[in-house]
Chain A
Amino acid sequence: MIEIRNLTKRYGALTAVNDISFTVTPGQVLGFLGPNGAGKSTTMKMITGFLAPSSGSVTVCGHDVESDPLAAKACMGYLPEGAPSYGEMTVRSFLEFIADIRGLSGERRRARLDDVIARLQLESVLEQMIETLSKGFKRRVGLAQALLHDPQVLILDEPTDGLDPNQKHQVRTLINDMSKDKIIVISTHILEEVDAVCNRAIIIAGGRLLADATPKELAARAPTGRLDDVFRQITTGQKAA
């Protein structure tokens, strides 16, 4: 379970995230929508404990991210924006490093490594240096890293950015397969993705939470019944065409 209460992040005079509260329960795939600069990534960075909130709190799997960061981080997998990793490492040694840090050992370690390598189809690039990989492969390495310890909570910041349509489809299938008992939060500005994988959508703009509903309910708010129109209507204050 993720519980977010009155989460706020200020940078000087700028309020990047403004008093956001929501709760996510297992089985939910939450799509985090909003224009660029809306505060999506900042919120995700606070959930994963990279940024300290100015005020408010985040609890993940019952652990407060600020007072008990290690326990909270241990039950999360996180794909940061742009899928950063260590370019000079090979895919294999990078995943081995993550397995070390995640405390995986013995049979389970081997099984988990085999599982993510197969799921993300990384066999062919295992011995390649990450910096020599294509954007799509780098993203998949980032996803493999996030999934490696089979976490209860997955936070994915733009997981399909830079992937071709086939790869996007694969990642969405992957998310659907895992969604039954996990909590998955993905940020995106591709609205069709929300339709494809999410059973709940939150729209934020200007750091504020503007809508929280299922994708169907949201779409029904526009006369056209299209999510794009609702998104534009909510985030710009314009009436849908």
Chain B
Amino acid sequence: MHNVKSIFRREFSSYFATPLALVFIVFFLVLAAAFAFQFGNFYERGQADLAPFFSFHPWLYLFLIPAISMRLWAEERKSGSIELLMTLPVTTWQAVIGKFLAAWAFAGVALALTFPMWITVNYLGDPDNGAILAAYIGSWLMAGGFLAIGACLSAATRNQVIAFIFTVVICFGFLFSGFPIVLDMVSGWAPRVLVDALASLSFYTHFQAISKGVIDLRDLLYFGTVIGVWLAANSIVLDMKKAD
């Protein structure tokens, strides 16, 4: 626990050591607001909720989260500092968790900084703040899923650009498998079980469920499992490839 905390602190502060953190946060906030107002018809709908804001999060994350996760391990491998880290008295698992939590906390900071949206709807109307909180939690969990995938793929290469591209591709699969367009295409010929299985694999399905304001244990379990499985894969990949 002590080691996880030390690694977390180092990693988290390293985001802020370069302009990267600032650029990312500004980019995220501008895009999140722009999408909500431009495409989500935030005002025109005349409803006091944040649905237009949250509905674009999966798409924002698809490109922004891999930008956070790509450096997690690829940079360590490239600079050789992974050899330092892995010969300190820490386990692979502690390093994986510490780094993941740092990236997740950073995503949480970016997400929390969208609070003016929440203030705005409360000023304009009388929204269901419980549902908004649920959607924030769902959005953060989804970010964690994307990050776990990105962390694992970052460990597989020493090139951050490759890590970024592969993460976008895999995350796209995890997102798109729940989209009506894909499900409609499949449901023409595949048995119902398969369609449901495909839908239930998707970040999109579970995020939609939570962002309606209901935090179901199954959705929490889903994100927990996705994060756990990808982080386990991350530590296996590390043990196999760290010295290449």
Query: Measuring CB to CB, which residues of chain A are less than 8 angstroms from any residue of chain B?
Result: 45, 48-51, 69-71, 73-74, 76, 78, 80-82, 84-89, 93, 97-98, 100-103, 129, 145
- 8 Å CB contact of A102 from B7, B84, B89, B242: B89
Contact, CB under 8 Å: A89 / B87: no
Among B10, B13, B81, the most chain A Cβ lie within 10 Å of the Cβ of: B10
Chain B neighbourhood of A81, CB < 8 A: 80
Q: Does B181 contact A (CB under 8 A)?
A: no
CA distance A102 to B2 in the complex (A): 10
CA distance A102 to B86 in the complex (A): 13
Query: Measuring CB to CB, which residues of chain B are less than 8 angstroms from any residue of chain A?
Result: 2-3, 6-7, 9-10, 13-14, 17-18, 79-84, 86-91, 242-243
Chain B neighbourhood of A87, CB < 8 A: 79
Q: Given that A50-B243, A84-B83, A84-B84 are contacting pairs, would A89 and B89 also be in contact in the complex, using a CB cutoff of 8 Å?
A: no
Contact, CB under 8 Å: B89 / A86: no
Contact, CB under 8 Å: A74 / B89: yes
Contact, CB under 8 Å: A93 / B13: yes
Among B10, B84, B87, B88, the most chain A Cβ lie within 10 Å of the Cβ of: B87
Chain B neighbourhood of A78, CB < 8 A: 84, 87
Q: Given that A48-B87, A73-B87 are contacting pairs, would A101 and B18 also be in contact in the complex, using a CB cutoff of 8 Å?
A: no
Residue pairs across A and B with Cβ atoms less than 8 A apart, 25 shown, are A45-B243, A49-B86, A50-B83, A50-B86, A50-B87, A50-B243, A70-B90, A70-B91, A73-B88, A73-B89, A78-B87, A80-B80, A80-B83, A80-B84, A84-B79, A84-B82, A85-B84, A86-B81, A87-B79, A88-B14, A89-B10, A89-B14, A93-B13, A101-B7, A101-B90
Shortest C-beta distance, A155 to chain B (Å), equals 9
Chain B neighbourhood of A70, CB < 8 A: 89-91
Number of A-B contacts (CB under 8 A): 67
CA distance A86 to B80 in the complex (A): 9
Shortest C-beta distance, B2 to chain A (Å), equals 7
CA distance A50 to B6 in the complex (A): 20
- 8 Å CB contact of A88 from B17, B242, B243: B17
Chain B neighbourhood of A49, CB < 8 A: 86-87
Shortest C-beta distance, A178 to chain B (Å), equals 19
Chain B neighbourhood of A71, CB < 8 A: 89
CA distance A108 to B3 in the complex (A): 19
Chain B neighbourhood of A100, CB < 8 A: 2, 6, 9
Shortest C-beta distance, B3 to chain A (Å), equals 6
Q: Given that A49-B87, A73-B89, A88-B14 are contacting pairs, would A97 and B80 also be in contact in the complex, using a CB cutoff of 8 Å?
A: no
> Top 10 A-B pairs ranked by shortest CB distance?
A84-B80, A100-B6, A88-B17, A73-B89, A80-B83, A74-B89, A48-B87, A84-B81, A70-B89, A78-B87
Shortest C-beta distance, A42 to chain B (Å), equals 9
- 8 Å CB contact of A51 from B3, B81, B89, B243: B243
CA distance A97 to B91 in the complex (A): 16
